[in-house]
Structure 1
Amino acid sequence: MSHKPSIIITGSDLAQEAVDLLSDYQLVYAGRQPSEADLIALCQQHNPHAIIVRYGKISASIMDAAPALRVIAKHGSGIDVIDQAAAAQREIRVLAATGANAAAVAEHTWALILACAKSVVTLDARMREGHWDKAQHKSIELEGRTLGLIGLGAIGSRVAKAGVAFGMQVIAYDPWAKQLPDGCEAVELTALFNRADVVSLHCPLTEQNRAMINRDTLAQFKPGAMLINTARGGLIEEEALANALQDGTLGCAALDSFTQEPLTAPHRWQSLSNVILSPHIGGVSDTSYVKMGSTAARNVLSVLRAGAVEESTSA
């Protein structure tokens, strides 16, 4: 039985670099898809000082099962899976690994944009079926087209720079952005929907922007536009998007995040040929896996060590 204070990881693994940083703690792995009941049971058993969140959600009930809990660190940037109000009430710090996966998500965004524009998935499937579509197929050329970005943080800014390099007109909506990348124009949201050939989401999910892409806003898109989401599934009203794809309002969509994860099967997305799907892996690369784990570990230590200093000072 370990006498080290414990940290729960809501996953089955952590980068070795992060494990090394946390050598003074007992690491308890909750598995790939821990339920609320699983996490409550582990908290009651181990009374962790910290939780590193890879998968699942952290509710007030989970926090209450861990009286020693001082910090919840996200293995990534999306802290909407943590009940932040409940954490604040219990004086539990919530920290994100901001920017640790920015390069990976930006690259995946461009993989999805290009896959849509160049019909990569469709043409591959046709080739495997024995077809040779050179005579009738025309892909979409991005140079001169308009890229609309919602959110200009670490990820959105990288996507913007690549858009400029592709020769696109880049417009963005982000009322909190302190500065814009070179070649990027700030616009209001309605103007972005009206003008963009490609709309890409790069904002956190909040109660204010939940379902911001819905039937009414989709009606403002340019006919045949593309929608890319490597941010959060809750930003999109999925039924409205599916209808827009089916009736031709949108030309194509590519989704890496979903309202409910993992995606259940059968699902309507599987019947639509003009949507590309990936299992929320935009931020998971060989390099970002290490960066996210190490940053989450350092975030945990910053809180726990500060607390230890305070306790020794007051003793």
Structure 2
Amino acid sequence: MQTSSQKPVVLVTAADLAPQALDMLGGFDVVFAGKQPTEDDVAALCAQHKPVAIIVRYGKVNARIMDAAANLQVISKHGSGIDVIDQAAAAERGIGVRAAAGANAAAVAEHAWALILACAKRVPQLDVRMREGHWDKPTHKSIELEGRTLGLVGLGAIGRRVASVGIAFGMKVVAHDPYAKDAPQGVQRVSLDALYASADIVSLHCPLTDENRNMFNADVFDRFKRGAILVNTARGGLIDEAALADALASGQLHSAGLDSFAVEPMTSPHPFQSLPNVILSPHIGGVSDAAYVNMGKGAAANVLAVLEDHARNAA
């Protein structure tokens, strides 16, 4: 809650922020928008408090919200995915946009592997069957990862961590990332077509842009190796969800592990909910004890850096 002081305001689109981040923002009044703030909620708070900075944890920041915050100088993402911020609108208004890049990389990479292993070993399905009184040992057969090919779309901080685990498992690791300057030892850079044709597991680690929205569509799934596993801990908009549901139902894909969706929260009912070969989690790949602190500190540091830069330029 804002105090009666005249400190500048930082608005957080959530109900909390790591204590370490709050300590860094001691020179500001920090206002929280609540657990699931709507656009109207955030716009109203901007009009009321005139924040100099917004730290984005949940929801989107569009031109309407920016215009409601007359003093806004920086929008800082609590994480790495700035696609939830209208970057063109921010640029037009001279508002800085920053991401806490890499702050949740370890957490997301670990969750990607949790989904890969759950798909390959069918752990959730076996657990349900056991609780129902079944013993499926005579009929169960999991996918062994050693010697298989792991294909990574994106080779940033998260993709590199996922690659290192794949190598440790004895997998062949291939990757596609036109922006990466190099590849870790043991990782072969290939074209997308070569990745689709060879990978037993395809894991997505690229940002969402206007150019790659729905890039994983029916045509692409037809080019996948039959029986491949798809894991997405990046952005839901990368995938044509109807096409993925069809590929899973037909057996073109063995299974999918999904942590992000085209619309969030995921709409219900949704075709994925009726498919037994999909494992779903509510976009929590980057939500861990350590990542919560790292993302908060990174977001706060970005706020301070931009505001200090503005103050120097104004002096």
Matched, 1:177 2:180: yes
Aligned-partner Cα distance in 1 for 2:310–2:180: 33
Displacement, 1:39? Answer: 1.0
Aligned-partner Cα distance in 1 for 2:312–2:191: 47
Matched, 1:260 2:255: no
Matched, 1:36 2:25: no
Aligned-partner Cα distance in 1 for 2:114–2:184: 21
Displacement, 1:263? Answer: 1.2
Aligned-partner Cα distance in 2 for 1:118–1:103: 22
Question: What is the TM-score when the length of structure 1 is the normalising length?
Answer: 0.98
Displacement, 1:202? Answer: 0.1
C-alpha offsets along residues 212-233 of structure 1, whole Å, 9 cap, x if unaligned? 1001000000111000000000
C-alpha offsets along residues 160-192 of structure 1, whole Å, 9 cap, x if unaligned? 011000000100000111110111100000110
SS in 1 for 2:91: helix
Aligned-partner Cα distance in 2 for 1:2–1:29: 17
Displacement, 1:265? Answer: 1.9
Q: Which amino acid aligns with 2:44?
A: A
1:222-301 equivalences in 2 (<5 Å): 222-301=225-304
Aligned match of 2:95: 92
1:115 maps to which of 97, 115, 118 = 118
Aligned match of 1:194: 197
Aligned match of 2:27: 24
Displacement, 1:308? Answer: 2.3
Q: Which amino acid aligns with 1:90?
A: R
Displacement, 1:17? Answer: 0.2
C-alpha offsets along residues 68-92 of structure 1, whole Å, 9 cap, x if unaligned? 1000000000000000000001110
Aligned match of 1:80: 83
Aligned-partner Cα distance in 2 for 1:43–1:4: 15
Aligned match of 1:168: 171
Aligned match of 2:9: 6
Q: Which amino acid aligns with 2:181?
A: K
Matched, 1:61 2:64: yes
Matched, 1:218 2:221: yes
Displacement, 1:254? Answer: 0.4
Aligned-partner Cα distance in 2 for 1:66–1:122: 48
Matched, 1:148 2:151: yes
Aligned-partner Cα distance in 2 for 1:258–1:303: 31
Displacement, 1:67? Answer: 1.4
Aligned-partner Cα distance in 2 for 1:213–1:265: 22
Aligned-partner Cα distance in 2 for 1:50–1:109: 32
Unaligned stretches of 5+ residues in structure 2: none
Displacement, 1:2? Answer: 3.0
Matched, 1:52 2:65: no
Question: What is the TM-score when the length of structure 2 is the normalising length?
Answer: 0.98
Choose 300-309 or 6-15, whichever is displaced more. 300-309
Aligned-partner Cα distance in 2 for 1:199–1:309: 46
Displacement, 1:250? Answer: 0.5
Displacement, 1:146? Answer: 0.4
Aligned-partner Cα distance in 2 for 1:131–1:221: 33
Aligned-partner Cα distance in 2 for 1:124–1:158: 28
Aligned-partner Cα distance in 1 for 2:226–2:46: 51
Displacement, 1:300? Answer: 0.1
SS in 1 for 2:290: helix
Displacement, 1:264? Answer: 2.3
SS in 1 for 2:223: coil
Aligned-partner Cα distance in 1 for 2:288–2:243: 31
SS in 2 for 1:219: helix
Displacement, 1:158? Answer: 0.5
C-alpha offsets along residues 51-79 of structure 1, whole Å, 9 cap, x if unaligned? 00000000011001111100000000000
Aligned-partner Cα distance in 1 for 2:132–2:253: 26
